[in-house]
Amino acid sequence: MSQFTQQVILGLLLGGVYVAVALGFSLVWGILNIVNLAHGALVIVGSYITWDLFTRWHIDPFLSLPIDALVLFVIGYALQRGVINRVIRAPLLFTFLLTFGINLIIVSLLLLIFTADFRSVTPSYSGNGLHLGSVTIPYIRFGGLVVAFLLAGALWAILNRTRIGAAILAVGADRDAAQLVGIDLRHMYALTFGIGAAFAGVAGGIISTFQSITPTAGDPYTLQAFAVVILGGLGRVSATVLGGLTFGLIEILGQSAPGLGSGYANAIAFVVLVIVLVVRPRGLLGRLA
């Protein structure tokens, strides 16, 4: 029993990471209709910033998260305004190609700057955890989960409680109608992408605390974010939260099932994903188009 409880907790903790990674991805997909293949690379840029600040000035990884967000926001805003905006009305394939190319460029730049060596962030409390009977909750992973929920709350509040959020939602619903009520479309596109990138950066900061990072470490996260959004559904913050936690749970519980090993984690998760696509194509909580 406690074995199972432990697995559930680990699943939720992993799910929290997926939530953090997928929030920005989901926002950009839902509002700009761009499946951003460079999302994972942006995540890892955040990881490297946290690593750099930690190794250079011993800044606690959790304290460097706002810096990750700020830097990535600027990068994201500029990327959208300068590059991606040129293909915003083009067919999906063009945005795929462009963001795939951006992904390659970012990964190559990271290789040049940081080399391919494994880098890890190891604050003093790395190995510690909260022991409740036979169940252990690692502090670092728990911190990541808390940050993921804070991010989700922040995104919800931005979208539903601010002027900018109203404009972003309007742009997502109907770009022409949005312009005609006086909303600066290109600025809102860039802001949305910037916010998405900022969230990716924070997710990257979290990831660097429990995983060794390399320039290509972001690629699986693009895939995970994609899966989480399909699973949860597009167009709602709560859908991304549910999708991320569910995906984490499925992976951890799947690989601990009798007769299966960690090698099956992804396979099981994606089988579930295919089932969801067949049975409920709009996702667990997604809105109908």
Q: Based on CB atoms, which residue is closest to other proteins, 17 or 170? A: 170
> Least CB distance from residue 271 to other proteins, whole Å?
33
> Least CB distance from residue 189 to other proteins, whole Å?
12
Q: Based on CB atoms, which residue is closest to other proteins, 181 or 278? A: 181
The answer to the question of residue 272 lying near other proteins (CB under 8 A) is no
3-state secondary structure of 40: helix
What's the distance, Cα to Cα, between the start and end of the chain in Å?
42
Q: 110, exposed or middle or buried, with CB in 10 Å at 0-12, 13-18, 19+?
A: buried
Q: Based on CB atoms, which residue is closest to other proteins, 32 or 217? A: 32
Q: Report angle CA 13, 18, 24 to the nearest 5 degrees.
A: 140
Q: Give 286's DSSP letter.
A: P
One-letter amino acid for residue 165 of the chain: G
> Least CB distance from residue 34 to other proteins, whole Å?
20
> Least CB distance from residue 287 to other proteins, whole Å?
8
Q: How many residues bind other proteins (CB under 8 A)?
A: 18
DSSP notation for 217-234:
TTHHHHHHHHHHHHHH-S
One-letter amino acid for residue 71 of the chain: V
The answer to the question of residue 88 lying near other proteins (CB under 8 A) is no
Q: State the Rg of the chain over Cα.
A: 19
The answer to the question of residue 85 lying near other proteins (CB under 8 A) is no
Q: Can you tell me the distance from the alpha carbon of 62 to that of 65, in angstroms, rounded to the nearest whole number?
A: 5
> Least CB distance from residue 238 to other proteins, whole Å?
14
The answer to the question of residue 279 lying near other proteins (CB under 8 A) is no
Residues 134-193 that bind other proteins (CB under 8 A): 163, 166-167, 169-170, 173-174, 176-186
Alpha helix segments (H runs only) across the chain: 2-32, 39-57, 65-82, 92-114, 139-161, 163-173, 175-180, 185-208, 219-232, 237-256, 265-279
Q: Give 135's DSSP letter.
A: E
> Least CB distance from residue 183 to other proteins, whole Å?
5
Q: Based on CB atoms, which residue is closest to other proteins, 182 or 258? A: 182
Q: Based on CB atoms, which residue is closest to other proteins, 181 or 279? A: 181
> Least CB distance from residue 135 to other proteins, whole Å?
41
Residues forming contacts to other proteins in the complex (CB under 8 A) are: 163, 166-167, 169-170, 173-174, 176-186
